[in-house]
Structure formats: structure tokens, C-alpha cells
Structure 1
Amino acid sequence: MSFSNPTREEIKDILKQAGNIAVVGLSDKSDRTSYMVAYAMQKRGYRIIPVNPTASGTEILGETCYASLQDIPEPIDIVNVFRRAEYCAEVAREAVAIGANVLWLQQGIVSDEAAEIAKERGLTVIMDRCIKVEDANLLVKDSE
């Protein structure tokens, strides 16, 4: 399978329609990239739902943290992943199981297996792109 990300216009539409973003691997440490990206997205108006088994039951960015995607009691639009590539296939399976619309692997993360799992079941897949950078480039500039 030859993978290609959606077009810039498609990514822009995905972000415009997104409400709940589950962030898998969101750290509770404010100096971590996952925290900084999620914080910026939250400030832009997105609902961030933390997923991190070691922080489950606590709050990160004012939101309850869940151990897994299946534990989240509401629909998820985007599953944004801050995990190493070898863990992404399992995250893709969970994203499919909860009916997410998009599997988004952060910048530096590529998993053909995860992409195949998600795409075969109708999810849009974005890999090796930072959601915060895409939001800033595609939407923030539009609103200025």
C-alpha cells in the first residue's frame, strides 16, 4: 500500500469539523511535546480528551484522563497519537472499535500497519504531521 496524506484542503476540512480529539500518549508533564500541542489545540477551541494508562483517573488540562480509547464515554472525531510506531497498530484497532473518524499520527510517527487497519475500516489517516502546525497553517491564518 502506497500511503499519502489527505490534501491540505481535506485536512483543513477535518480540522474545521473536529470537536473531540482524543490524545493518546498525552503526558501530564507540561514540558512534553504532547502536552504543549494539546494545550495549544485546547486554546484554539478543540475539546482535548487525554488517554494515558499511567495517568488514568487524574486530570490533564482540566479533562479526565482515560486508560484507553474504549473508556471514553463520548464520540471521538480525531484520535491524535503520541506513541512510538510499534504501538500504533493497536491504537488504530481501538480507534476503529470506538468509531473515530480520523487516525492522526503526530510528526515523526509512521506506521503502515496502523494506516492499513484504519483505512480498511473507513477512517481517514494522517501520518507524520503535527496537528498544531496544520491547524496554525490552515485555520489560524484564515481567521487573521
Structure 2
Amino acid sequence: MNLEQYLRQARTIAVLGAHPDPARAAYFVPEYLRRVGYRVLPVNPRFAGQELFGETVVAGLEEISVPVDILDIFRRSSALMEHLEAILELRPGLVWLQSGIRNDAFAQRLEQAAIAVVQDRCLMSVHRSLR
């Protein structure tokens, strides 16, 4: 997979674990992505109904009704499998696990379903390096 080409073509990024605290990566990474032109859909049950990145936060992936090009995940590696079914239903083109997040069994299940996965890399850093 050519990440540069994929990031150039993507328009919508859902962020699982989005957070309203500007000091947290789960805020400043999606805020950067919004500023460079992506539509960012925040997902976090703790903040459902609030507004983040110009969008209303939804409680779960199943509430997203538009196509998602990239699913950017800010969740502990051990919590990923609980989202697997919803991710398979959402069918994003790419699932991105942020820095420090890695789960090979999870990634393998997504790849078996023809969903590309990037593990343990910061989407903001990669995007900046490719610009």
C-alpha cells in the first residue's frame, strides 16, 4: 500500500477515542488532520453529543453513516478486539493504530477482511513527512 497516495485520496477520517483535552494526542492529532483538510468524525462514548473538530461526537462506530476512508484509533492495544465487529461493519479503507498501539491478532483479522492496517505509527507525523 502506498501511504502517500492513500493519504492524498482520503477525505474522511473517523477517530476512535477522540478526546477534548488539547494536551492529549487524541485531540491534537485529529485537530491537525482537520486543519489540513480532512473531515474528522470523533468517536468516544464519554463525550457523545459534544462538538469536536466541527462535528458531533458519537458514542460508537455503528453511529457513523458516511463512508470512512481512514479509522484512526487511540485505544489501548488490549481494547481493540472489542471494536472488531463494528470496524468490520464500517469497512474503512485503512485502520491506523497510533504510536504505541499494536495488536497483531487484531491486525490479522482486519487484513483477512481486506482492510489495510498501519500499527504503532503517528498519523500526523507520517502525514507531515509526506507533504
Q: Give the alignment's TM-score, normalised by structure 2.
A: 0.95
Q: Distance in 2 between matches of 1:18 and 1:126?
A: 15
Amino acid in structure 1 at the alignment position of 2:23: D
2:11 is the counterpart of 1:22? no
Q: Supply the distance in 1 between the matched residues of 2:65 and 2:103 (Cα, whole angstroms).
A: 27
Q: Which residue of 2 aligns with 1:69?
A: 61
Distance in 2, Cα, partners of 1:88 & 1:82 = 10
Q: Matched residues in 1 for 2:51 and 2:65: separation? A: 15
Aligned position for 1:136 = 128
Q: Tell me the percent identity.
A: 34
CA 1:104/1:92 → structure 2, altered by over 3 Å: closer, same or farther?
farther
**Structure 1 residue 58, shift from structure 2 partner:** 1.2
Question: What CA deviation, in whole Å up to 9, does each residue of 1:13-34 have, x standing for no partner?
Answer: 1111111100000001111111
- State TM-score, norm by structure 1: 0.87
Quick check: which has more Rg, 1 or 2?
1
Match of 2:79?
87
Which stretches of structure 1, 4 residues or more, deviate above 6 A after TM superposition?
none
Q: Which residue of 2 aligns with 1:42?
A: 34
Q: What SS does the aligned partner of 2:42 have?
A: strand
**Which of the numbers 94, 101, 104 marks the counterpart of 1:112?**
104
- Residue of structure 2 in register with 1:101 after alignment: 93
Alignment length, in residue pairs? Answer: 131
The question of whether the paired residues in 2 share the 8 Å contact of 1:21 and 1:77 is answered with: yes
Q: For structure 1, list consecutive stretches of 5 or more residues without a partner in the other structure.
A: 1-5
Shift of 1:44: 0.6
Where structure 2 has 5 or more consecutive residues not aligned to the other structure, the ranges are: none
Q: Does the alignment pair 1:32 with 2:24?
A: yes
Answer yes or no: is the 8 Å Cα contact 1:107–1:127 preserved in 2: yes
CA shift, 1:93, in A, is 2.8
1:55 maps onto 2:47 in alignment:
yes
Q: How far apart are residue 90 of structure 1 and its match?
A: 2.6
Aligned AA for 1:28? P
